[in-house]
Each structure stands twice: as structure tokens, then as C-alpha cells.
Structure 1
Amino acid sequence: MLKRVKHWGPGLLLLAPTIILVGVFVYWLIIENFRVSLTNQHTAKPSDKYVGFDNYTNLLADPNFQHSLWNLLILTIVFLGGTLIFGFLWAWILDKPAKGEGFFRAVYLFPMAVSFIASGVVWRWLLSSLQTDQPGGERTTGLNRLLDSVGLGFLQNDWWSNPTWGIAAIAVPAIWQLSGYVMALFLAGFRGIPEELREAARIDGCSEWKLYRHVIFPQLNPVMLSAVIIIGHMSLKLFDLIRAIVPDANTYDVQVPATMMWVKYIGSDYADAAAIGMILLVLVAIVVIPYLMYTSRAEKR
């Protein structure tokens, strides 16, 4: 017994502060949130009456929540697709020897250093829905004004105010902000492929397309998977950017579960807010846990 204490004691003492902090501020809060989601606490008045999973079933049957899930799907597809495409293209360009690589790499990475709130304030102006000069001196602003000034006024649109694809416009600033990060991932993947492997493929008669298809792309699969997981789970939790761009968090056209949870919370509907939070946690877990299992198995190999 004493030998075990001597063996494990120092390590446990070193990890104890982290274990306590994570246990209290992560897992205990998750448990408490789950407990609240099982009650009928739909007002500021505390309630310990448990209703089981009624809050979850009511939410899943709510057309507004269903619409928020649909918006989340559109946002995730556009956000994920845009960051992967632009990130890969920029990495592909920078992978070729060129002057000023360090400068352009810094330019691409800079948006990632800006908070979503700060960039959202700027993009709220850029994505203004005004399309024509208004009475009283109000004029078009942002991208719509730029399009009008270069003779492309027919491309003006409502951006995030569009009732059908407004949520896709929200993905534009997110793509701008995170494409540099995905670029860094792909660039590291490109640089990790030995030049000898490429030369051997060329000597064997591979064209550039076959070189990328049969040699480079398979080598980039782990990087692609990492980018999909990271960007995918970020899109599921995206809140601050939407909140900074859209004045009213309850705007139906761009409502996602995260903003709906906020609306429920400030309306003192704590049970529904907690239930939405747990649903988001499950969605993130569905995305992240298989990736963690995959990487764990890969490390064991």
C-alpha cells in the first residue's frame, strides 16, 4: 500500500488542481445543466419538479427549433466547404516556392487572431441589407455600396436578411476568419510530404493530376479529417459572430440552436435553454468522439 502511495502520490498531487478545476467547472456544470433540463423551470422561479425528457420532446417537435437545426445544417455545410476550399487553395499556392511567402502566410493567418465579436461588428456594416438610396439621406453601405459603385448593382442582395439563404451569408465572415487556420493545417501537410516521394512518382510517369490524386491527396487525408472535425464542431457552437452581426438574437431567418438557447435563457426559460445546451453537447460529441477514437487507434498502431 505504501509503495503504491509513493508511486502514484506525486503524480496525483501534480494533477489534483487540474482534476478539481475540470471536475467543478466542466463536468459538474454539465451534470447540473442536465438536471435543470429535466425540470419544469420555465420561469425565474426555482423549481425542482422533474418532467423527465418532456422538454426535449417538446423542443424537437417545435417548428422554430426544427428551423434552427435546418439553419445550422446550412451554416455548417457552407462554413465547412468554404474554409476547406479556400484553405486548400491558399496552402497549395504557398507550397510552391515563391518570394514573400512569410508575408502572405501572415496575412492569411491574421483574421484568426481577431475575435468573432470584433470581426462581427465590421461584417455587420459590410453585410448591410440596404440596396438603394433611402429617403432622409440613408444610403447603401458595405458590400452593396461597393457593388453599386463598380456597376454590379444587380448583385446587391439582403445578405443575412434574406429569408431563405440569410444564414449562408453569416458563413461568409466565418470563412474569412478561419480559412487561414485551415491553410496552415494543409500547408503543414504539404510540407510533411517528402520531396523524394513526389520525384519518384514523376519518374514513374505520373502526371501532375495523378501525382495529386494517388500520392498527395492520400497523404493529406489525416489533415483533412482534422480540419473537418475542428471547423465542424466550431460551426455547431457558433454564437458570438451571429450575435455581433444580427441586432436581434431572435431573428427567425438566422436562428440557430445556440442563439435560440440564449433567447430562452434571457427569457428565464432555464429548462428549455438547458435542454438546447445538452442537445448541442450531444451534436458536438457525435462529431468529436469518433475522431478521438480514430486518433487513439492510430497512435497505438
Structure 2
Amino acid sequence: MSKAGRITAFFVLLPSIVLLAIFVYGLIWGTLTTSLTDLERVAALRGLPGQFIGAENYERLVNSGLERRFRIDMVNTVFFTLSFIAACLASGLGLAVLIDQKIQFEGVFRTIFLFPMALSFVVTGVVWRWLFQQNSGLNVLPTAIGLPAGNFSWHLSQDKLFTFNWADVPNILVMVVCGLVIYFALNAYMKKKSQRAAFLAAVAFLLLMLVTFNVPNQAAPLRSEEHGFNVALFSITIAAAWQMSGYTMAMYLAGLRGISDDLREAARVDGATELGVYRHIVLPLLQPITLSAMIILGHISLKIFDLVYTIGGENPLQIDMPGLYMYFVTFRSGDYGRGAAIATIMLIMVAIVIVPYLATSLRKERN
């Protein structure tokens, strides 16, 4: 591109750059600085700045006995994200494979499966809240075939699975990082990158030694309290997956239609079963779509608010999420500093999911 063309392109993009800098990154900076203060509603209405308190808001959220709800929300977010992504990928892939069989009335079924995506999470929440009532909805469905009514508490359940101690979170996080390092080490070894594989293996060994001697827990001591997977989250997972499975199906269906029929037929001629065709040819070719779907679904799950609020109301108990808690802390309690800290933590969680994907995509485009 010529110099004149670059100058023209710069001035064309300048308004967007200015708006982005002010209304996105400027507000992010404002939220970050507010999270380091004790700013409250009264002081804000008087135009007074909050007093700088450093990372005290973050320390309270992670370790204060009064902030147990936030820690429950963080654990809920992790479990909900994993279950939501798994449910959407499994159901979306299953529906896409079904439609890819050239069934009759394909357009009708595709429209039916995509319809929930056209609804807002508020509408979805209202519908599923009725279905989750203990004396109606899904619990009385078995009576239609002569079976006794169910007694599942759904979003009101108090049961927990996979319990752990919050004080062990540093060790758990290091183990997760260690698992990722081992995965990348094996990947490098399979690609004959022996030096990189050896380096990553050494890093994984070091991390395992740290966990063995309990170094992470001692370096970052946290409050001892029990947490776990709240069974009530199944209700949110079911409702959210019902709405987003059609979107995942559309992504997978586009990928399936992009795979050459000649490639599948050649595999069948070589003796591959239909299951083998999908296992060794179709699914590996769908990996980029799976990654994209995981990023999008993960982004949605980390920021979910309206579905939880609609199903659980103002006291969602075991299905609470950080976005909902941030709303109550900021706009109901008027604690802007603490609310900004929660928002910043949510931003970091989203960035952990989005930034590696964007970096990988940019690297592929450059190559």
C-alpha cells in the first residue's frame, strides 16, 4: 500500500479508534482504578473520589469470611462453564450428524433446532423456571406414562458433588497448569520437537514437586471452607444448553458440509466403518470448529446474568454467578469499589479464554 493509501486508511479508522479508546479501554481503565478504592454511592453522588486502598477489595473477595458468596459464585462459574460447554458440544454435534444424514424435511428440523437461539435468555429463564417447579413441569412428566411424579429440587437443590477445600485452590490451580504443560509437552513430542518437549516436561516436573511439598498453599494461604459442584447448576446448564445447542449445531453442520464426500467414500472403500469415518476423518477435521465453539460458549458462560436472575430471582442461592453478585454489590449495596473488583476479575476470566484464541488466529493469518 502506498503512503497516501496508508494515510487515508488511518483517517478512515481514526473515529473508530477514538471511540474504542474512550468507551472500551477507557472504561476498563476506570473500572480497574475504581477497584483499587473504597468508593461508595454516597461519596460518588457528592463527587468525592474514593480513598486508594490497593488490592484490599480483591483480598476481601478471596479470603474474607463475609465474601463467601463470591467464592461460591466463582466455583459455580467453573463448574457451569465446563458442563455447559460439554452439553452444547455433545448435543450440537449429535444434531448436526443427524441432519447431515440427508433426512427428509431437513429444513424443518434445522429450523426447529435453531429456534431456541432466537429467544432471549430472559424468555428462556421464564419458561424453564416453570418447568423446574417441584409440583409441576418436569417433575410431573413421568405421570403421563403411569409412573410416580419426580421429586427433584432442580434449582433449589442443596446437594453438592466433588467437594474440596477452598484452602487447596492454589494447589489445584498449579495442577491445572501442570496438566496443560504436560499436554503441550506431549504435543511437541509427537511433532518431533524434542527440545521443546524436554523443556516443558521439566517445567511439569517442577510444578509437580511444588504441589507435592504443598508450596502453593503455603505461599498463598486461603480461608478453609468447603465448596463443590452444586447439583442445582444442572438446571441452569439444561436451560442454557437448550438455547445454545442449535447454534453449535449450525457451526458443526457447516463444517460437515465442508468435508468432501469423496474423502468419506474413499475411507469406506478402504474398509472403514461409519463410526471409523467419523472418528478418524470427520472429527479431526472439525477440531477448528470445536475450538471456536468452545471459545464462544465459554465467553457466554462466564458473563451469564439474565438466565440466572430469571430462574433464581434475587436470591439464587446455589446457582448464583459473579455477574449477578456484581450487580447486587454495585447497584443495590452501592459499593462501587468492590463491584469494580468483581467486574475486573470477570474481565480477567474472559481474557484468559479469549486472548489465546485471538493470538492463535492472528498467528495463523500472518503465516
TM-score (norm 1): 0.90
Tell me the amino acid that sits aligned with residue 156 of structure 2: S
Tell me the amino acid that sits aligned with residue 248 of structure 2: V
Matched, 1:160 2:155: yes
Deviations 1:140-190 (A, max 9, x none): 222223334444445331110112311221111100000000000110111
RMSD: 1.7
Matched, 1:25 2:23: yes
Following superposition, the deviation at residue 43 of structure 1 comes to 4.3
Partners of 2:156 and 2:145 in 1: CA distance: 23
Question: Which residue is equivalent to 1:8?
Answer: 6
| Worse-matched range after superposition: 39-48 or 258-267 | 39-48
Following superposition, the deviation at residue 213 of structure 1 comes to 1.8
What runs of 5+ residues in structure 2 fail to find an aligned partner? 160-230
Partners of 1:153 and 1:21 in 2: CA distance: 60
Tell me the amino acid that sits aligned with residue 275 of structure 1: A
Deviations 1:266-287 (A, max 9, x none): 2101111110111010001101
Following superposition, the deviation at residue 100 of structure 1 comes to 0.5
Tell me the amino acid that sits aligned with residue 239 of structure 2: P
What runs of 5+ residues in structure 1 fail to find an aligned partner? 131-139
Question: Which residue is equivalent to 2:50?
Answer: 48
Matched, 1:114 2:119: yes
Question: Which residue is equivalent to 1:197?
Answer: 263
Question: Which residue is equivalent to 2:202?
Answer: none
Partners of 1:294 and 1:52 in 2: CA distance: 34
Q: How many residues were matched structurally? A: 287
Deviations 1:169-222 (A, max 9, x none): 111110000000000011011111111111111222222222222211110100
Instruction: Pick the aligned partner of 2:70 from 65, 76, 79.
Output: 65
2:286 alignment partner, SS class = helix
Question: Which residue is equivalent to 1:170?
Answer: 236
TM-score (norm 2): 0.74
Question: Which residue is equivalent to 1:147?
Answer: 142
Question: Among the aligned pairs, what percent are the same residue?
Answer: 39
Contact 1:83–1:175 (CA under 8 A) maintained in structure 2? yes
Matched, 1:78 2:83: yes
Partners of 1:142 and 1:150 in 2: CA distance: 15
Instruction: Pick the aligned partner of 1:214 from 269, 277, 280.
Output: 280
Following superposition, the deviation at residue 108 of structure 1 comes to 0.6
Instruction: Pick the aligned partner of 2:36 from 35, 38, 53.
Output: 38
Matched, 1:181 2:223: no
Deviations 1:103-146 (A, max 9, x none): 11011111111111122112121111x3xxxxxxxxx2222233
Instruction: Pick the aligned partner of 1:89 from 94, 98, 101.
Output: 94
The alpha-carbon distance between structure 1 residues 35 and 153, as it changes in their structure 2 partners (threshold 3 A), is farther
